[in-house]
Amino acid sequence: MRKVIQFHQTSVENGVLVLHTEQDDLLEGVQAAGQIIADSDRFAFVYLAENAEEYVYLYLEEPIWQELKNVLESGMPVMARGSERTLELHQFQDELQYLVENIQGNGNYGDEMVAKVEAVFFN
């Protein structure tokens, strides 16, 4: 079964964007893989992390995209945080910048995903 961590709240703490989750147990033993992919069906960016056995998918859905745009503009680091565990998301800015530029005007991601990405990241 695919392990998915969702983030619905963010904060900026000491120049770091912190993505908050209540799924702290899924962060145990997880390391950043340094790659972001798109899930066009859920209108989300997905940061890949991994534990000893499998990938763990960190879902960054549309409601927090403005904060992600701020990360690209400021260059601030990004961390995922549960109640007891924290994971730094390595290569976040480079991966997100590459992906949003690839999505812009690219119908392969679906017209609605393209429109949503362009509305947030290119306006």
For the cut 70, the answer to whether the pLDDT of residue 1 exceeds it is: no
d(CA 80, CA 5): 10
Specify the pTM: 0.95
CA distance 28 to 96: 24
Residue from 88, 91, 120, 87 nearest 103 by CA: 120
pLDDT, tens digit, for every residue of 22-68?
999 999 999 999 999 999 999 999 999 999 899 999 999 999 999 99
Q: Coil, strand or helix: which one is 78?
A: strand
Q: Which residue has better confidence, 2 or 111?
A: 111
pLDDT in tens, 73-118: 999 999 999 999 999 999 999 999 999 999 999 999 999 999 999 9
Asked if pLDDT for residue 2 goes beyond 90, the answer is no
Structure tokens at 27: 């962060």
Amino acid at 26: L
Across 2-20, average pLDDT = 95
pLDDT at 39: 97
Residues in the chain: 123
Terminal-residue alpha carbon distance, the chain? 38
The pLDDT value recorded for residue 47 is 98
Q: Where are the alpha helices (DSSP H) in the chain?
A: 65-74, 92-103, 111-121
Least confident of 1-5, 8-12, 76-80, 92-96: 1-5
Query: Could you give the C-alpha distances from 29 to 46, 53, 77, 82, in angstroms and in order?
Result: 19, 10, 21, 13
